Structure 1
């Protein structure tokens, strides 16, 4: 059964207390932190690959990832979940620090760096997919969550996964094929 296929007939606003909202806030802020890092990584990859076939494939995905982050912020607002700026800032800083990793090349970009960026994006999109699924399940009991919007976000995340995986496999072959065999 599709995780978002609910009738909505008996949807209502949850009556849970502050503990549930606190946990939901932690959960959504953790996803927002990941979305912040993912948005930056996707935008950087699209910039560095501009003009190539990879760039043409990644540019629309990077734009969608940025839109998905905005959608998450909208959902948090609708649910009354405050943004924890320290988590967003930490994710932003961690993404920047992650660029300093050695990649086998000192001056020019490494094909390994592109592969690792694609793998990081794949993992981030998988996490985002899980978040949309979780919110869809919660939306069955909470009218503040738009099930149709969540279904659209989920479908878009699945398309993003397919695109990123296709290019991840290509990049792995390009970067690593000569090392085996």
Structure 2
């Protein structure tokens, strides 16, 4: 069973690294906007969550992997090459997809913290880790991004090919 938990944790670490990198990139792309401010805060918190996760792994006697997180960083970089309907400028679809994927990742992170606390029994094994606080923090992160995600979706899907509203 410990091997399965180690595999799960290694996979989840890679996912956290992917979300961290995506949040940082999105925050940079939206710098100077209200969405950029929300993304910058969430990016900082996701980085802190990844550090918390790595500390949990070490406390369990597990060394955080290097391969899967490195692959996650590479995947995030490759994801930048996706077709977005524009060649020379940032597409409204890019903004929406980044926010949408981040919100999905944050929802997944809430489930992760609950799984670790309840299914893996880490709430009892590591009583000083505030899993409820981590779940609540993920909820706040989602709440901070949700209005920007919805606005980006409207901008992307209610615009003509030039980015102007129909």
Q: Please indicate, yes or no, whether the TM-score normalized by the shorter chain is above 0.5.
A: yes
Which residue is 1:66 aligned to? 47
Q: Is 1:41–1:95's contact at 8 Å kept on the other side of the alignment?
A: yes
Q: Provide the TM-score with structure 2 as the length reference.
A: 0.90
Q: Which residue of 1 aligns with 2:93?
A: 112
2:122 corresponding residue in structure 1 = 139
Q: Distance in 2 between matches of 1:152 and 1:169?
A: 26
Distance 1:141 1:123, change over 3 A: same
CA contact (8 A) 2:14 2:72 kept: yes
Is the contact made by 2:92 and 2:152 (CA closer than 8 Å) also made in structure 1? yes
Residue 15 (structure 2) aligned to one of 34, 52, 55: 34
How many Å separate the matches in 1 of 2:79 and 2:73? 10
In 2: Cα distance, 1:90 partner to 1:46 partner: 21
Tell me the C-alpha RMSD between the 2 structures. Answer: 1.6
**Does 1:165 find its partner at 2:146?**
yes
Kindly tell me the number of residue pairs found equivalent between the two proteins.
160
CA contact (8 A) 1:32 1:88 kept: yes
Higher relative contact order (CA 8 A, sep 6+): 1
Match of 1:127 among 95, 102, 108: 108
Matched with 1:100 is: 81
Structure 1: segments with no counterpart, 5+ residues: 1-19
The 8 Å contact of residues 21 and 81 in structure 1, kept in 2 or not, is answered as: no
The 3-state SS of whatever aligns with 1:178 is coil
Shift of residue 140, structure 1, vs aligned partner: 4.2
Q: What stretches of structure 2 of length at least 5 have no aligned partner?
A: none
Q: Is contact 2:99-2:148 (8 Å) kept?
A: yes
